[in-house]
Chains A and B, each alone.
Chain A
Amino acid sequence: MPASAPAPPSTDNSRWQIVDRAMQRHDYRPDALIETLHAVQDAFGYLDVATLTTIAAKLRTPPAKVFGVATFYNHFHLEPKGDHTLAVCTGTACHLKGNDRMLAWLRDRYHLAPGETAPDNRLSLVEVRCVGACALAPVIVTDSILIGRKSFAEATAIIGEWLGDAT
């Protein structure tokens, strides 16, 4: 874990309130697990082991099941994300229009593979399987801003500028 990573989130009370509210809304029923995990990820940014264990107890669900669900779905991640997240769409249309080249560039330029976070915690790279904006392919998402229909040169320039290291 990077040095600048936040303290284990399990102790943060205000964030726990968000999660508790989600569980409460579903009367702490075990089937609220996925909804709860969404709330945890929204509140804490990721799912850590201690939090998952607590969730298991609160929803009266075996921890194995909680971990099973958390690891089954691509949307959930068990490691903290960096300050910024760059999502590269690898849906079919984006693939046809060259996003594999974008991934190769990111590997060379930032030494990141999909799913990885830079050691300085500045940037996380994720791969998404289609955001449904195929008409704008190739698509990348910088934090929550969708950027589409840009040439490779334009897109890489945008990323550089966004990260404040335009060179």
Chain B
Amino acid sequence: MQPEDLNRLAAEHRQYLAGFAHHILVCAGLGCPDNDAIVAALRRTVAERQLATRVLVRKGGCMGLCALGPIVLILPGEITYQTVTPADAGDIVASLGKAPVQRLLLPPDLPFFTRQHKNVLTLSGRIDPESIDDYLAAGGYEALRTALTTMRPADVIRQIQESGLRGRGGAGYPTGLKWATVAKATGDKKYLICNGDEGDPGAFMDRSILESTPHAVLEGMIIAAYAVGARLGYIYVRAEYPLAVQRLKLAIRQAERKNLLGHAIIGSNVDLDLQIRLGAGAFVCGEETALIESVEGKRGLPRPRPPYPAEKGLWGCPTLINNVETYANVPPIIARGPEWFAALGTDRSKGTKVFALTGKIRHTGLIEVPMGTSLREIVFDIGGGIPDGHAFKAIQTGGPSGGCIPAAHLDTPVSYESLNELGSIMGSGGMIVIDETTSMIDIVKYFMEFCMEESCGKCIPCRAGTAQILGLLTKFQQRQATAADLAGLETLCDLVKHTSLCGLGQSAPNPVLSTLRYFRQEYLDRIVPPTPTGEAQP
């Protein structure tokens, strides 16, 4: 297959799609259960009413507003329906070309939709995730064609560097710099890895991207492989995401058949094989060196860094490892130019970021906003605020390794730097809203228990420290703590943070430290008053 064949395929499929007067897209993500039945009911209705030549019913990817799912999108017209059931098929089909079904209609001016700025999620929900033709027709793989036919690897890397893209997995390392390091590294063999081990509870950005636009991730990976000179790549996905794995497998097969993977990709001299590796339920494997150990078939124990994977990664070879969302950002940067991307976001955090909005918030779901959007806008405008008349208490970003940010800082614009300053982290993009009914000690203890259980045990500060911190938190929870325990907790957190081997241990104290900073009174309230002898006795 040659580049012009891709154009032809895309044009043919566009023409096919244009032949239908109406398109019905049903969210077929994990967050919209029963979507199969809705698709079947709609198709049956369309067939019964002999509209099959005019109306096309397809599965779509995630449309974000999981709280009101299953969501159905009608094009043209941008009509979005909420909480659809198979029984609604008749009304929906009957309304095509007429007034929308009022009882299902989502207001078109809902801030959830209007306040977002989609880049990675642009095609999510608008194409069939299981159709490579849909992706091609929507302009997919054009960035790859541009890169392979008009750019040298160094040009690709320069564009990524100029865009200012930073790693979306959490650490925020400049992506272009990482690519340049791997490209420069010497060695015959180089590897490419996609980190899809989204282990943070409360995060589902990568799942949704893999389920909705798997080809976008593949395209980003192929461009990356070309840029750094890798010929074999692994996509490491959690086994807990069966639908993402299934769609990814299908996408790889489709790409192989169209010569977008394999030998001499679309007539170039680039070869790339991609394989899937299933995770097996270990949070620590989200850490890049632990993930590499796991790909090698071992226990996921992190390696000391340096050397970094860019120099010595998989099998000791230079390895480029990026997160799912990072790769998905690559095709639009190549297609639209680095200036376009760099114009979005803040001074040092460029582009857009996908966030998973969950917890005590009305519009739970998946959103994408430019970096620099305020937490208040995310929680109250896009997220619709707190349900059941409760008050906002904190927003937890960055998963079990992140911090809890109180209401006083809701106007903070979200960026890697601003969240760090607040004692939290960007993390991969999980945002969990906590309302006044939740005790911070309880939630922090929950996170610490998670980190303790997920500690791989390789280094002592993390293995023993998380257990000891949990012990102290338990004393606070049971109102048996002393002033000495509070001091001990702070010392211990500082120790674990600064002496652990990998990110898991280094960030495990974050929830404790951030709540000690913003919700200290909750700790103080649980300290047992000293006895008359002057000693605190639990």
Contacts and interface: CB of A to CB of B under 8 A. Distances in A.
A34 B356 CA distance: 29
Given A92-B359, A92-B432, A95-B446, A132 B282 contact: no
Interface stretch (B101-109, B126-134, B196-204, B464-472): B196-204
A133 interface: yes
B297 A69 contact: yes
Given A96-B443, A137-B358, A75 B281 contact: yes
A106 interface: no
Interface in A71-117: 72-76, 90-97
B303 interface: no
Nearest to B64: A135
Contacts of A37: 280
Contacts of B299: 68-69, 72-73
B358 A135 contact: yes
B280 A134 contact: no
Interface in A24-45: 29-35, 37-38
Interface in B170-204: 198-204
B446 A134 contact: no
A98 B174 CA distance: 39
A68 B300 CA distance: 10
Contacts of B356: 134-135
A140 B359 CA distance: 16
B399 to A, nearest CB: 8
Interface residues of A, number: 39
B203 A34 contact: no
A143 to B, nearest CB: 12
B446 A135 contact: no
A76 to B, nearest CB: 6
Contacts of B208: 132
Contacts of B281: 73-76, 129
A18 interface: no
Interface residues of B, number: 55
A65 B201 CA distance: 29
Interface string B426-463: 00001010100010000100110010001010000000
A102 to B, nearest CB: 15
Interface in B1-37: 30-31, 33
Contact of A96 (B67, B278, B438): B438
A93 B202 contact: yes
Given A34-B280, A75-B281, A146-B33, A134 B450 contact: no
B296 A148 contact: no
Contacts of A159: none
A130 interface: yes
A95 B277 CA distance: 29
A154 to B, nearest CB: 14
Contact of A38 (B66, B199, B239): B239
A118 interface: no
Contacts of B454: 129
A146 B203 CA distance: 17
Given A33-B297, A132-B30, A132-B240, A92 B278 contact: no
A56 interface: no
B364 interface: yes
Given A74-B280, A92-B202, A93-B358, A130 B240 contact: yes
A158 interface: no
B207 to A, nearest CB: 4
A136 B201 contact: no
A130 B297 contact: no
Contact of B241 (A29, A34, A132, A137): A132
Interface in B305-362: 356-360
B141 interface: no
Contact of B358 (A31, A35, A69, A134): A134
Nearest to B204: A132
A31 to B, nearest CB: 4
Interface string B278-298: 111111000000000011111
A135 B364 contact: yes
A31 B292 CA distance: 11
B280 A31 contact: no
A155 interface: no
A33 B240 CA distance: 19
A31 B299 CA distance: 11
B282 A91 contact: no
Contacts of B424: none
7 contacts: A72-B299, A73-B279, A92-B396, A94-B201, A132-B207, A135-B357, A147-B33
Given A65-B298, A96-B432, 14 more contacts: A31-B295, A35-B297, A38-B278, A74-B280, A74-B282, A92-B359, A92-B432, A93-B359, A94-B201, A129-B281, A133-B31, A134-B203, A134-B432, A135-B366
Interface of A: 29-35, 37-38, 65, 68-69, 72-76, 90-97, 128-137, 144, 146-148
Shortest 5 CB-CB distances between A and B: which pairs? A135-B66, A91-B201, A74-B281, A73-B280, A75-B281
